[in-house]
Structures are given as structure tokens and as C-alpha cells.
Structure 1
Amino acid sequence: MALECTISELGTARVACIVGRVDSATAGALEKSLTPLFDTPGRHAIVDLTALDYISSAGLRIVLMAAKRAKQAQARLVLCGMAPHVREVFEISGFLKILEVANDQASAQALLA
């Protein structure tokens, strides 16, 4: 399955919904999709992983880069909607200790409020 990423607005945050698989073949496309999230300083972002089937270390690197861009833009990044098998990858990698995570978009938006 290919990667699809749509960007929308939710209140004061931008939301990126990722669908499909993030691996070495699709990580570059994800990076291009997420880069504009932090063009505006202080503009927070939510990355919705509800429809994410798989993420590799290449995908984790892109998420980490997005978190660094958020910090540079004085903004926050919140991940939400992780399926158990995706959450396990984030947990094993230690990313759950350094990234903000919510159950769903509404919870993510509440974190940013």
C-alpha cells in the first residue's frame, strides 16, 4: 500500500493524517508532506496515525525530524491515533518518552489548548 498524507486545519493546529505504510520507499514523501506544518512559528501540529499500517525506522526518523522542526518553530507536535502495533514500535524505540501522544484528535487538540 502506498503512503497518503493529507493536511487540514483543526482549530489553531494543522493536522496531518497519514494513511498506509511508512518505510524507506515512502519516507521521503512523508518528509515533504510534514515539512510545511511548521512554516508558521508557533503553529502547532497534530499527526494522526489512525490509518497508519506500518512504520519503519526510516519513518521514525521523519517523525523525530518533525518534532525537532516543531521545537525550532516554538511549536508543539502531538501524535494521535496509534494502533497497538504502531504504538509498540514507538515504545520500543523510546519515542513515547520524548514525544507527546494522545488517543485521538480531540484529545490531541485538548493537549494543545
Structure 2
Amino acid sequence: MIEINHEVKNDTLIINPVGRLDGLTSKKFMEDTEGLIKLNSARVIINLDSLDYISSEGLRSILTTAKTIKSQGGKFGLCTPLDGVREVLEISGFGEMLGVYESLELALSSV
């Protein structure tokens, strides 16, 4: 199960997925984020502080989202992953590729 919350702060869209991002939930994640990005794709941060688990399909969903934003000239970053999610990001190389910030405030000032 996943819930996608969002807010706009400092002209930046902050997407807050809650729960698990895996093969069962990645379609909902993609549909919801695509709709949000249509409203604001210039600066987007995915705040991972409530994401409990991410699978390879979840990683693919985040990568697709990042590529969409960057192809439209926007900026993208991830922030505050929980330990298990952080480990997956590091092992996969996605953390370095996409940019992971330790806090939302740091992400807001960098993206």
C-alpha cells in the first residue's frame, strides 16, 4: 500500500510517498506523480522519510520520474530516506545518480 501526499514550498513540489514502493504500488506512484508534475515540474523533491521499503521496480519508478522532470528542464532530488531505503539507494547507485539530501531544508536550498 502506498499513499502519495504533496505540498508546495518555495516554488518546489514536494512529493511525500508513505508506505511501500514496490511492484504492487509503483503504478499508483507513477500515475499520481505524473499528475502532480504536470502542475509543477520546475523543481521537485521526493521526501522519503515515510517510505518504509523500496524494490527495484520502485527504483525504476523514481528514475522515470526524475528523467521526466529533467527532460522538461526541471531539477530533482531525494531527501531523508530511512535506513533501509538509503541502503538500497546506495547499493544501486541511485543515490549518487539522483542526489540524496540529509534534510528537506538542504534539498530545498539545493534543488
| Alignment of structure 1 residues 26-105 onto 2, 5 Å | 26-39=25-38, 43-105=42-104
Aligned in 2, Cα 1:77/1:10: closer, same or farther, shift over 3 Å?
same
What is the Cα-based RMSD across aligned positions, in Å?
1.4
- Cα separation, partners in 2 of 1:33 and 1:42, compared to 1, 3 Å: closer
Paired residues, number: 111
Q: Looking at secondary structure, tell me which structure has more helix per residue.
A: 2
Contact persistence 1:78–1:100 (CA under 8 A): yes
Structure 1 runs of 4+ with >6 Å offset:
none
Question: Which stretches in structure 1 are left out of the alignment for 5+ residues?
Answer: none
TM-score (norm 1): 0.91
Q: TM-score, normalised by structure 2?
A: 0.93
| Inter-partner Cα distance in structure 2 for 1:38 and 1:3 | 18
| CA distance in 1: counterparts of 2:81 and 2:39, whole angstroms | 26
Cα distance in 2 for residues equivalent to 1:108 and 1:39:
21
The secondary structure found in structure 2 opposite 1:29 is: helix
State the percentage of identical aligned residues.
32
Structure 2 unmatched runs, 5+: none
